[in-house]
Amino acid sequence: MESTKSNPTLSQDGFWSRLRSGLARVPVIGWLAGGLCAVMVEYFLGDALSYYLGLPKIPVLFGFVTMLKKPLLIPSSTAYVILVYLIPLVAVGLLTAGPANRLAAFLHRRALWLSAIIHLVLLYTIIHIWSDISDYRLLLLKLTMIAIMLTLSINVINGYMGEFSCSHPGFMALGAYSASTMTLILFTNDKLFGPALLPPALGPYCYPLALIFGGVVAALGALVVAIPSFRTRGDYLAIISLAFMFIVKSVIENLEFVGGPRGMGSQPNWSNLPTVFVWTVLCVWVINNFVRSTMGKALNAVRDNEMAADAMTVDTRKTKIVTFMFGAFWAGVAGGLFAHVLRYVNPGTFGIQKLAEILAMVYFGGLNSVVGSVVGAVSINLLSEMLRPLELFKWIVIPLLLILVMIYRPTGLIAFREFDVRKILRPKQ
Amino acid sequence: MPLLQVRNMTHYFGGLRAVHNFNLVIEPGEIKGLIGPNGAGKTTIFNLITGIHTPTEGQIELEGQSLIGLKPHQVASRGLGRTFQNMLLWRHMNVLEHVKMAQYSQLDYGLLDAFFGTPRLQREEERVTREAMRLLELFDVAKYAEHLVGNLPYGAQRRVEMARAMATKPKILFLDEPTAGMTPEELVQMIGIIRQVHKDFGVAIFLIEHRLKFVMELCQSIQTLVFGEVIAEGPPEEIQNNPKVVEAYLGKEDIT
């Protein structure tokens, strides 16, 4: 700072604007390369670095938890984050901008799917290495990805079709319980259902089927909300969907064969990181395809004006049924994954608390937007973990943040934005 | 065979008789008008024929096939396009999406295609987009294709709505007060557009209007509706001089 004092405005302006224009030229693949470098640095040097900086161990969540617990460690945690994440990310991003752009241009000319797969593999490698540091990170990542699925699937109903549906925890519960029941009966020796019917070695291969089964059950349950939606909208449908959630919860509480209020445990540990990642990607891809097609745009037409949609040959009933079942399907799949991540579910999990969480994520991130859902799910999830040391105050800070977002961006952070993969992955000159 | 035939249509809202014994015959390529004071039941007649309400009594036939009991989207897919008095555009959708949306029933792909983005979906989307752009050019709103409808000038919104209605490939076009809220210049433009649609697409047109001048200029035949009943029917000159119509619009001459 001292050295630039002689001509502060000019040199600072020059530096920052050059940095900004430099960063603007980094394509997504360049950022991914930077991210890969950062997590590699942490993987190999993290322990040593945290020792020299006087940190008890590698800060798990970008140093936030450490900072809030022990304010004296703020400088060293900040230094750690800058050294391990910021510098490699920016440096590699800037330095490889040229080749990365050429690579992106090459991929851009080739098939889109190839480019997308390469990006996804890079992304997966990053999160895999990052989560290798601790089990806590692994769990957090899985739950975040499940939250992305939930947020996106509720966005289809609440955002794209504009119904206020509160039944998502119910759909999730249906999926979680159906998928768990299937895996427990068929592949596990457990207290509730006795010995496995099929050899457990087959299990991991049939796990997707169990998840799809969970999704289908949830989709069938969604009919209970979809059919009233032909005749009623808005507040009344919200009440119906809320009732649905409570019905599901109390039905499960009273079903003794799935454990009743005690819940259901000992699910096999099949929701590993790659499985959850693949399902999340699949969910984002399918939902994005759907909402961008003309058939999916019918959701918006029904939301903005149902009478006009009907007069323009849109089958509004079919659209509503499809939307509810489609949203519920993905919520069910997410529920199945969730049950196999925690390896224990009880009906209490799928109550009003869960609903508040999901709604907060979708409205924070932004309605009618795939990117918004991802941003909302990731930020609310990470925030609530990072602010954990604040204990009670966490539930003041996060709602306050939500209120602020609602004041300044009433439809959420990134609302009404199309998610065009081709545009995102393109080279930036 | 007439294109559209409505026979003895009567409709009650509870105890209120909104339409009484309404008859209508529309031949291919004809322009017909329906006039009447406020609250006469003009829009109700539109809503009855397009399937939003089901008439209490009477028959509605399009090319000899009954439309009674069909849902509005089914009626629309059979060739009965319409516009609305207050337009009812979709405010979060852009102009191109409006015209693509109206081709919903012509989409030749299923849900699975939409989920997985198959080549078939891409082919269809391209076809629908081409068709939509053609219509937008025709209605002179192609330059707004990527704009949200809310940001367009009023006249352009009206043209978008018309393009949207034409995208459903109608055999008859129902226009509900197409000049509502328009300036005199826009009105002249609108007459041009309707004539052009009539000529280029060869559709029959049935329109509701308040402004007598507009109806007189466009329509070959006019029906006058008062309190749900047709009081006069015939070519424009005849209607203009019909004492009953004059009475309905201007009131009775009070001699005493």
A61 shares its domain with A98: yes
A145 and A87 share one domain: no
- Whether A1 shows a pLDDT value over 60: the answer reads no
Domains and CATH numbers, chain B: 1-79+170-256 (3.40.50.300), 90-167 (no CATH)
Nearest partner of A146 among A318, A333, A14, A19, judged by Cα: A333
Contacts of A298 in chain B (CB under 8 A): 101, 104
State whether A164 and A228 are in the same domain.
Answer: yes
Range of the domain at A206: 135-425
Are A300 and B93 within 8 A, CB to CB?
Answer: yes
pLDDT confidence band for A198 (50 / 70 / 90)? confident
With an 8 Å Cβ cutoff, are A289 and B88 in contact? no
What are residue B32's DSSP bridge partners? Answer: B206, B221
Residue A295 and residue B72: Cβ atoms within 8 Å? Answer: no
CA dihedral B224, B230, B236, B238 (to 10 degrees): -120
Residue appearing with tokens 């794209």 = A160
Characterize A69-108 residue by residue with b for buried, 16 or more Cβ atoms within 10 angstroms of its Cβ, and e for exposed.
eeeebeebbbbbbebbbeebbbebbbbbbeebbebbeebb
Of B92, B109, B167, the CB nearest to A416: B92
Q: Are residues A194 and A96 in the same domain?
A: no
User: Is A73 found in the same domain as A188?
Assistant: no
How many other CB atoms sit within 10 Å of the CB of residue B135?
23
Query: Based on the domain organization, do A253 and A329 belong to the same domain?
Result: yes
Q: Min CA distance, A293 vs chain B (Å)?
A: 6
Q: Identify whether A126 is part of a domain.
A: no
Rounded to two decimals, the pTM is 0.92
Q: A199 pLDDT band (50/70/90 cuts)?
A: confident
Chains A and B form CB pairs within 8 A to the count of 103
Contacts of B106 in chain A (CB under 8 A): 313
Q: By C-alpha distance, which of A156, A347, A173, A342 is closest to A267?
A: A342
Whether A216 maps to a domain, the answer reads yes
- Are A242 and A104 in the same domain? no
- Give the CATH number of the domain where residue A164 resides: 1.10.3470
Q: Which of A56, A77, A111 is the last residue of a domain?
A: A111
Q: Are residues A56 and A151 in the same domain?
A: no
Listed residue (A256, A151, A402, A287) closest to B115, CA to CA = A287
Torsional sign, CA B93, B94, B99, B105: negative
Tell whether A123 is covered by a domain.
no
The 10s digit of each residue's pLDDT in A343-377 is 999 999 999 999 999 999 999 999 999 999 999 99
- Tokens 């699925």 correspond to A149
Domain boundary among A54, A78, A111: A111
Nearest CA in chain B to A416: B92
| pLDDT (0 to 100) of residue A3 | 45
Q: Give A4's pLDDT tier (boundaries 50, 70, 90).
A: very low
With beta carbons under 8 A apart, name residues in chain A contacting B165: 312
- ipTM of the complex model: 0.90
Please name the amino acid found at residue A137.
Answer: R
What is the tens place of the pLDDT at every residue in B106-116? 999 999 999 99
Strand partners, A265: A344
- Report the residue of chain B nearest A313, measured CA to CA: B73
CA dihedral in degrees (A240, A245, A251, A252; nearest 10)?
A: 170
Answer yes or no: do A267 and A335 share one domain.
Answer: yes
Same-domain check for residues A395 and A363: yes
Whether A203 and A82 map to the same domain: the answer is no
| Residue at A127 is within a domain | no
Q: Are residues A185 and A233 in the same domain?
A: yes
Looking at the structure of chain A, the number of domains it has is 2
User: In Å, how far is A83's CA from the nearest CA of chain B?
Assistant: 42
Q: Amino acid identity of B183? A: T
Question: For residues A141 and A270, what is the distance between their CA atoms, to the nearest angstrom?
Answer: 15
> Which of A111, A144, A174 is the last residue before a domain boundary?
A111
